[in-house]
Structure formats: structure tokens, C-alpha cells
Chains A and B, each alone.
Chain A
Amino acid sequence: MSESNGNMTNGNGAVGTAIPVTTRKDWSSDQEVRWCPGCGDYSILTAVQLLMPDLGVRRENTVFLSGIGCAARFPYYMNTYGMHSIHGRAPAIATGLATTRPDLDVWVISGDGDALSIGGNHLIHALRRNVRLTIIMFNNQIYGLTKGQYSPTSEVAKVTKSTPFGSVDTPFNPVSLALGAEATFVARTHDMDRAHMQETFRRAHEHQGAAFVEVLQNCNVFNDGAFEKITAKDARSTMLIPLQHGEPIVFGPEGEERGVVQRSDGKLEVVSVADVGLDEVLVHDEKRPDPGFAFRLSRLANGPYEPTPIGVFRAVERPEYGAQMSDQITEAQDKRGLGDLGALLRSGSSWIVD
């Protein structure tokens, strides 16, 4: 019988050799991309495929894993290992993979229905456990694959096929939800800005733990223009608030800068920098141990029609789940030696018949 220390890798004949230089083409599979023409998913796919060669990772050690929905087709288009699993379950499946294979980079691609509705439970637990996963959630505030029902992020009174009289459900704010679930890395980006997406994904990938990124994504068929008020080219400077660690939270065209300040009751609000002075403007700190500040930032906009923060809300260090699991094994093996099956079977009392 072979001994096993429980840590496994597979292959890795290439370990020790330099990481091959790759281009987008190397990371693109031979499968025809089948999203609707004009879908925001295309720009996210392009951003990821272009980013991968820069991350210093190997294709064979990269896994894209998804649930069900339009976004979930993503793994088919990446020339890496991949799994298109079942609705909502990707974070759970990824947890098993990431904890047994610490040598892998595991990406979870999800949507607002997949991650926050049917898979809500798995998402929050993967986040609180801090499993080393890069979770990218495409939020288009609608169900696309099932052709246009409202989603858990749809605004109240949304009229859809399943809500002809308007939805009455209060939506989730994905960033608030992730922060409430003890996530150690929470960010938001949008499908109209490749550079911002790539910078955000890069940060998420670097994070040693569960990283959650909400991507505001346009569904041009069932919910066209949902984020137009904040992500359209001419709207961005006045409607998107870029968060930069250590920098005052300011935005807006030169001469009309606005900034985020804290009122005496604790609520954050957007004011004219000229009115209060730059010193009054809050300085962004993504490393605050208490998630309260990031949470208040996530509540700044009531919807995608008010100035909305993008970038990294929170990036703190906490021991990673799989590593802790492995540490316990190492510790047990250091203390007790590699498991001896014969001794295990005799761990109660044994007796001999002769």
C-alpha cells in the first residue's frame, strides 16, 4: 500500500522550468463562443484571455469552474482545465478542488442568479471560509439563459415575464452581501472598461483567499442598458467612484470634483470637494480589519443611477482554508507519523485466537 501525505499534485513535469510565454490565443479554446451578439460577456472573456499571459501562471494548473447560466459557459472558451457544473454549486465544487489541489489556480465564473439565488448558500460559505478561489460574478440583474425573468439583483418593480405586475422583492447588493459573509477580498468592476476589469481581476487573483468580484455586465437582450447611467463612456467620470487604497475617495471632472465624506450620523455621502476641502474627504483603506467601512461604501449608491464605487472595497489577510486544512494534516503527521493502517485497526482492544 502506498503512503499518502494527502497533498497531491498531478503531472507537473514542467515544475522548475520557466513559465512559457503565451498569448491570448493560447488561452482560447477551439470552441465557438455562443453568447448573443453584443453581450457584455464577450468583453469580460476578452479581458480575461488577454490578462492570463501576464499572470505568470500555467494553463495546465489553471481551472475555470462554473455553475449554470449565460456566464457559466465561460469555461468552455478557456483553453485550460474546466468544469461547467450545476446551478449554483460551483463554489462548493471548487472548494473540494482547491483544498485538495493547492497547486492549482481555481477561478469560479458565476452570474447573479447562479451565485446569489440558487447558489447563495455556497457562495457565502466559500467566502467566510476563505477558500483560495477567484470568484467572478457577472451581474446583469436579469435571468438571461431562461429568457428574461427577474433576478435577486433586479430593482424593485421590475416588470419581466415572471413579474408582469412588477417585482416586489428587495434586491441584494452583491458587494454588501460578500462583505457580510466575511469575505476577505471584495471588488466591483464593469464590462465597459477592460483596463479596470484586468486590474481588478489581477488583484483578485493575487489574493490569498476567497476573492469576490462583481462585474456590472450588460445583457443587451433582456435588460439592455441596466448600468448605462453609470458605465456609459460620457457618464463614468461623474457616476463611477474609483476606489484607490490610501487615496482620498474623489471623482468627477477637473474643477467639479466630488468626494465621499462621513456625516456625523456615520452615513457616507457624496459632496463637492470644493465645499468641504480635500482634507474632509475620506481616504480609502481596503485593509481595515472591520468590514464596516467597506460596507458603508457599498451602500453609497441605492442603485446603478447614483454615483457608484468601483475597485477594491476590501482586501485583508486571513489564513486560507485549504492551507489550514493542510497544516492540520502536516501537524498530525509530524506528531503521530504517517498513518499506520494496521495500528488504526487495532486502536480499540484486539485479541488473538490461536
Chain B
Amino acid sequence: MASGTQNTEQLDQVIVRFAGDSGDGMQLTGDRFTTSSALLGNDLSTFPDFPAEIRAPAGTVNGVSAFQVHISDHDILTPGDSPNVLVAMNPAALKANIDLMAKGTVLIVNSDSFEERDLTKAGYASNPLTDGSLAAYTVYEVPMTSITQEVCKEAGVKPRDAERSKNFFALGLISWLYTRPVEPTIEWIAQRFASKPQVVDANTRAFRAGYDFGETAELFESNYEVKPATFEKGEYVQVTGNQAMAWGLIAASRLAGLPLFLGSYPITPASDILHELSRRKEFGVRTFQAEDEIAGIGAALGAAFGGALGVTTTSGPGLDLKSETLGLAINLELPLIVVDVQRGGPSTGLPTKTEQADLLHALYGRHGEAPLPVLAPQRPSDCFAIAIEATRIAVKYRTPVIVLSDGYLANGAEPWRLPDLDALEPIDPAFASAPNHEDDEGHETFWPYVRDPKTLARPWAPPGIPGLEHRIGGLEKADGSGNVSYEGVNHERMVHLRHDKIAGIEADVPPVEVNDESGDAQLLLVSWGSTYAAVLAGVKRVRARGMKAAHIHLRHLNPLPTNLGEVLRGYSQILVPEINLGQLSRVLRAEYLVDAQTMSKMQGVPFRVGEIEAAITALLGGKS
């Protein structure tokens, strides 16, 4: 594996960023490098960062697509703040990413694409490779396009077609640089492009050429090895948030013994859940690509009425459209799962960029008093567990549940230790099976709004059972009978009942766990959803520098853990980093009258660990 002439140095971690045109295959390249690293046993975290346009004009900064991967020999949480190596396939990729690069880091550029035309398209007045502007970096100029074309020529591939394989050259080169094994990738190429033998040939040649270039060109003084990380024993796979969410929904449907019905309308960055589930028909999964977002949730609710696990997946603009049906679902008191993969808003906003600004919408974004539970996964792999937990709550309490994922979790990948499926607790749909009321004449009847005294949940009685025929709807119900009622006192009672039912879910919410190593920290960091990783990593860093900071993470945004108020009041300073203007901190202030301070970022990317570290340091009066 190691090269013949050069040294192999040990690194404990490395952050590589692949950047190129949208059509250059950077996501595929990054993804494959990630898989190689996962198979080697590294811990890892990825951050695909791509534009909304399918193909912005080639060679322009707007069209740059990037994939960042952080690999290490120890436990890591984030895709890393600043890459150690940037692979730039053209000047636009260099320009779009150079600000992320610290001085002294490595730039590997495709020197074939730095012609006058390319530079103009990227908006460079002069060639950065020759004008001295990159003097602070270690720059490797590699003629990727021409070498790729050369090696493909022998296979009879036309230069134009061969040019498309240059990302595999880059992959080969980086694979050599970080001593990734060759064979698994070659096998993968053969499988992935099996229907196009010439493409297999070209990609394989390009990949090998890149690897060999590293070994023989004597451009690089050494290559590097990142040893496997120490993982808990078990079987691992690499998983993205959207994949884990889809699998979690299938698992939930199995645990509940309910067929899964997904009503969905394609929307970035949620569509991959629809794609994944639509492939899994052997699990009895029905996916319905609806005419719009409203029909997506409507059909899911109709399926729930019929006794299925009804799910709809969307992103912000879709959640707006689903609000009306969510109100109906709250009145009908039927189980329903809504997955909102948040993106930058308002309106179309930043379709491919992450944000956490739908929290208040999820909590309060409906007319009337319309409470519902809200959960958020904290890592990509946590989407599996959160889908099951959302289902458990939805079924037990007969309520719609919103799951707030986000673009970063959805597309980000990490190793995941597979759970013991047999240990997962079944979910009892507890369908109604018999009349539950006696009318004045002594006849047994069914009342759809008689509540379980403990959970306040009403019976779920899908059609099919004689004697349980009943009508439900969006009009206010009479408590108990479920008949239409316009009576004011009854309405007030029903508003309270619906509120109390959701508030009572706190009985199932685990208490928040405080991570306060020293036990006497004055500052508490509060994370929710995807901020978990950067916040925890930031806290670890300041502790390593001798500072004291505590951390809690919230997976349940409604209802909140019962001990949260007490925990918050135990700290003199509370900092809530959020990818929004301060939505959770507003909730915490309102609920607990504590001085929760907001740390805000809305640039379509997650917090960097360094940003969290600096914020903590500033609050504690230290130097950053």
C-alpha cells in the first residue's frame, strides 16, 4: 500500500475537501473516499456542500460543488472547520473555497483547467497559480485532465468522454496520499458502472493513473496514514441522515405492525427519503408521489385513518402547505409523522443549504390552539432512532408528530454501529375492538372521543369493525361522543384536553442529561438538532484548555424534558447556538424565565467548532 520511494507519515486526523464543477462528480468522489475510509476503520463525518442549480454555467463560482470529509483515528463529531487539503478541479472551485483554507495547508489543483478562459469564467483577473497570491499555501499543480485523457486514449476512449473521468484521477491521487486501499474502489467502479463497460474502463484507468501519479511523480514528499479509530465493538455501516430516517420509518412500521404509507412531494433536501422508501417495496412500503405537498400529507392522513403508519416528508416551503392538514390531524387525533428536513428560508431560500429556522413554525405554526410533539435528531445516524421514537409517540398518543431534521444531517454521513433490532421495543397500535359506551337506551355504541385517563389518547378505530362506525372531522367535537359541537364550554374543555394530552407526553421524555465534567461550571451550552456535534466538540476543546463549560442537548423540543427548568436555573450563563435568529433561546426564555443568550449563524452551513470555542472563551473572559 505504501509508496516505494516516499515516506508514510502518521496523522491522527485529516480534513479533505473536494471541489469542482457541479458536473465534475465531486459528490461521488467524496462519497467514495468516505466509504474507503469507513472500511479502513476511521471515524468520519462528511459535509456535502452543493448548489441548488442542477448545472450552473460550467466553470463559474455559482456552479461549484464541494464535499468535505473529516477522517480520524479517534472519535470525532463534525466534518471539521478548516480543510487540510483542498482538491480544486478548476479556478472557480479554488476561488469558492480558498477562504476556508488556513495558511500552510495543501492545495491540489487541476492545472489543465487554468487557461485564460477558465480564469475569466471564475472571475480571476490573473492566474493565482502564477501571481503569487497562493504563496502561503503548499500548491501541487497536477495536469489531471491531460493525464486522464492520455491513459484513456489507449482504451479507445475519446478525449471528450475521457475528460469526464478526471474526478477518478483525483480520487486515485488522494487515495494514494492517504494510503487508502485500491481494490475496493476498483470493484466498486465495476459494480457502479456495470452497464457501461467503457466507462468502467475509463474510470478505472483514471483512478489507477491518479494513484500511480502520487507514487511516482515525486511531487509529494510523503504520503499519510490515518489509523483506524477505536470504536465500540460491533458491526458498523456508513449512513446519511436521510437514509437512516427512511430505515427508521421502516423499522417503526415493523415494530408497530402497521404498513408504511409515505405521501410526499419531491423537495430538496428531503427527496432522498422518498427515493429510498420507494425502493423498498418488499417491506410493504407504499410511496405516493402526490400532486402537491398538501396531497402528500392528506394521503398520509387518509392512510392513518385506515390504520396505516402515515408519513409525509418535506422541507420548509412544504411544511407551510401542510399546516392546514396538521390542524385537521390534531383535531382528528390520529397518528401521523411529518419529517421536515429544514433548509434556508423563507420562501425558496437556500434549497441545498442547512438551517434550523423552522422550530417556531413546527411548534406554533398553525391557526388555533394546535399543539403537537416536536423531535429533532442530533446526528445523521440518530435519524433512525428518532423515526422510531416519533412513531411511538404518534401511535401512543394519537397525534401528529413533527421531526425536524436539516440539510446538514440529511446529507451528512458517519459510521453507525448497527442497533440490535431484536432489542427494539414493539409499538402497540392498540386499535379499538369493541364498543366503549352505552347510550340512554342501554345500547352499546362507540364513542370516538372517549379518552384513556392516563394518556388522554382517544381510541383509534380504523374502518372494518362492525359496531364501531363513527364520523370524525375538523369541526369541534363534543367531548366523548365526538359529535359536532359548537358549544363554547365544550370547546374550551377540548382545547385544554388537546393541550394536556401533548403536555403529558413529557412523561415519556427522558430527563435532560447534563454534561458538566467539573461539576461547577457557570456556563451552560444548550444544543438542539444538528448543533449537537459542533457544540459538544467546542465544549471539549475549551475544557482541554482548562475552562469550565457544561453542555445539554435537547432531542425533544415539545414537550421539553421535565428537569430542564431546574437544570437551566443552575447556571449563571446560558448560551444557545442555533442556525437561526434564536428560536430555541426564545422558547427557553418564555418557558423558564431564564436569560438564555443566542449565538446565531445563518450562512447555510453548520457551526464550526472554532466558532463555538471562541464564543465560550469570550463569555468566560478568556482569550480565544
Q: Smallest Cβ distance from B298 to chain A, in angstroms?
A: 3
Interface bits A80-115 vs B (CB < 8 Å: 1, else 0)? 111111100100111111111101100000000000
- A62 to B286: give the CA distance in the assembly, Å: 22
CB distance from A320 to the nearest CB of B (A): 14
Shortest distance from the beta carbon of B34 to any chain A beta carbon, whole Å: 11
Q: Is B456 an interface residue (CB 8 A)?
A: no
Of the candidate stretches B472-480, B514-522, B573-581, the one touching chain A is B472-480
Confirm or deny: B158 has a beta carbon within 8 angstroms of a beta carbon on chain A: no
Any chain B CB within 8 A of the CB of A61? yes
A262 → chain B closest CB, angstroms: 35
**Contact in complex: B421, A329 (CB < 8 Å):** no
Minimum CB–CB distance from B296 to chain A (whole Å) comes to 8
Residues of A within 8 A of B184 (CB): 349
Determine how close the nearest CB of chain B comes to the CB of A60; give it in whole angstroms. 4
Determine if B325 and A4 form an interchain contact, defined as CB atoms under 8 angstroms apart: no
In the bound assembly, the distance between CA atoms of A346 and B327 in angstroms comes to: 38
| Bound CA–CA A63/B176 (angstroms) | 64
The interface-forming segment of A5-13, A208-216, A287-295 is A5-13
Once A75-B471, A86-B325, A121-B291 are accepted as A-B contacts, the answer to whether A100 and B303 lie under 8 Å apart by CB is yes
Q: Which residues in B have their C-beta under 8 angstroms from that of A8?
A: 258-259, 306-308
Whether a CB of chain B sits under 8 angstroms from the CB of A336 is: yes
B302:A95 contact, CB within 8 angstroms: yes
The residue in chain A whose Cβ has the minimal distance to the Cβ of B327 is A86
Given contacts A350-B236, A354-B233, contact A332 B301 (CB under 8 A): no
A10 engages B307 (CB within 8 Å):
yes
For B146, the chain A residues whose CB sits under 8 A away are none
Does B310 make an interface contact (CB < 8 A)? Answer: yes
Interface status of A218 (Cβ within 8 A of chain B):
no
B301 & A93 in contact (Cβ 8 Å cutoff): yes
Contact between chains at A4 and B284 (CB < 8 Å): yes
Mask: chain A, 1-44; 1 = CB below 8 Å from B; 0 = not: 11111111111111000000000000001010000000000000
A10 touching B471 by the CB < 8 A rule?
no
Cβ of B292 < 8 Å from any Cβ of A? Answer: yes
CB distance from B251 to the nearest CB of A (A): 6
Contact among A31, A96, A348 for B302, CB-based, below 8 A = A96
Choose one: B247, B285, B295; the contact of A92 (CB below 8 Å).
B295
Stretch at the interface among A167-175, A182-190, A219-227, A337-345: A337-345
Interface residue from A3, A336, A352 paired with B235 (Cβ < 8 Å) = A352
Does the CB pair B247–A345 fall under 8 Å? yes
Q: What sequence of 0s and 1s flags, for each residue 39-81 of chain A, a beta carbon within 8 Å of any chain B beta carbon? A: 0000000000000000000111111010010000001101111
Residue in A closest to B433 when the chains form the complex, CB atoms: A11
Is the CB–CB distance between A96 and B288 below 8 Å?
yes
Chain B CB within 10 Å, residue with most, of A125, A348, A353: A353
Contact B466 A60 (CB under 8 A): yes
- Does B483 lie at the interface of the complex (its beta carbon under 8 Å from any beta carbon of A)? yes
Establish whether residues A337 and B290, one from each chain, have CB atoms under 8 Å apart when the complex forms. Answer: no
Q: Does A333 contact B (CB under 8 A)?
A: yes
Q: How many residues of A contact B (CB 8 A)?
A: 75
Q: Which residues of B contact A61 (CB under 8 A)?
A: 463-464
B231's nearest neighbour on chain A, judged by CB, is A353
The CA-CA distance from A190 to B181 in the complex, in Å, is: 75
Contact with A along B248-281 (1 / 0, CB 8 A): 0011011101111101000000000000000011
CB contact under 8 A between A100 and B468, given known A1-B421, A6-B286, A354-B233: no
0/1 string, B299-328, CB within 8 A of A gives 1: 111111111101000000000000011011
CB within 8 Å of A: which of B398-442? 417-418, 421-422, 424, 426, 431, 433
0/1 per residue, B470-493, Cβ < 8 Å to A?
A: 111111000000011000000000
Instruction: Decide if A81 touches B282 in the complex (CB within 8 Å).
Output: no
Distance of A192 from chain B, by nearest CB (Å) = 28
In the complex, the answer to whether A1 meets B255 with C-beta atoms within 8 Å is yes
Contacting residues, chain B, for A84 (C-beta < 8 A): 471-475
Give chain B residues whose Cβ lies under 8 Å from the Cβ of A100: 259, 261, 286, 302-303, 306-308
Query: B221 near A: Cβ within 8 Å?
Result: no
Q: In the assembly, what is the distance between CA of A9 and CA of B463, in Å?
A: 8
A302 near B: Cβ within 8 Å? no
* A351 in contact (CB, < 8 A): yes
* Known contacts A13-B466, A89-B294; is-contact A96 B301 (Cβ 8 Å): yes
B592 part of interface (Cβ distance < 8 Å)? no
Chain B residue nearest in CB terms to A82: B471
**A259 CB → nearest B CB, Å:** 40
Determine if B332 is an interface residue (Cβ-Cβ < 8 Å). yes
Judging by beta carbons under 8 Å apart, are A93 and B299 in contact? yes
A345 vs chain B, min Cβ distance (A): 6
Residue of B at shortest CB range from A77?
Answer: B471
Find out whether the CB atom of A83 lies under 8 angstroms from the CB atom of B281: no
Contact A85 B473 (CB under 8 A): yes
Query: Given contacts A100-B308, A346-B418, A351-B39, are A92 and B471 in contact (CB under 8 A)?
Result: no
B471 and A344 contact, CB distance less than 8 A: no
Cβ contact of B237, chosen from A11, A31, A124, A345, cutoff 8 A: A345
Q: Are A59 and B469 in contact (CB under 8 A)?
A: yes
Q: Give the Cβ gap from B249 to chain A, nearest Cβ, in Å.
A: 11
Complex Cα spacing A233 to B332, Å: 43
Of the candidates B234, B303, B325, the one having the most CB atoms from chain A within 10 angstroms of its own CB is B303
Cβ contact within 8 Å between B250 and A101 = no
Q: How far is the CB of B473 from chain A (nearest CB, A)?
A: 3
CB distance from A14 to the nearest CB of B (A): 6
A60-B468 CB under 8 A given contacts A1-B421, A349-B238: yes
Chain A residues with CB under 8 A of B305:
83, 93, 96-97
From B292, B328, B463, B471, A29 is in contact (CB under 8 Å) with: B471
A122 at the interface (CB under 8 A from B): yes
Closest residue on chain B to residue A34 by CB atoms:
B484
A163 within 8 A of B: no
| A31, A93, A331: most-surrounded residue (chain B CB, <10 A) | A93
Q: How far is the CA of A240 from the CA of B21 in the complex (A)?
A: 66
Interface membership of chain B positions 215-232, coded 1 if the CB is closer than 8 angstroms to chain A and 0 otherwise: 000000000000000011
Going nearest first, the 8 A-B pairs with the smallest beta carbon separation are: A6-B284, A84-B473, A96-B302, A96-B299, A10-B464, A339-B283, A92-B298, A11-B465
Q: 13 new A-B pairs (CB below 8 Å) besides A8-B307, A82-B469, A93-B299?
A: A2-B254, A13-B465, A76-B473, A85-B298, A85-B328, A89-B298, A96-B300, A96-B304, A96-B310, A100-B286, A101-B464, A332-B282, A351-B237
A-B contact pairs, 20 of them (CB 8 A): A2-B254, A2-B257, A4-B260, A7-B259, A84-B471, A84-B473, A85-B298, A95-B288, A95-B302, A96-B298, A96-B310, A99-B261, A99-B303, A101-B462, A125-B291, A329-B282, A339-B282, A351-B237, A353-B41, A353-B234
Residues of B within 8 A of A (CB): 35, 38-39, 41, 184, 231-239, 247, 250-251, 253-255, 257-261, 263, 280-286, 288, 290-292, 294-295, 298-308, 310, 324-325, 327-328, 332, 417-418, 421-422, 424, 426, 431, 433, 462-475, 483-484
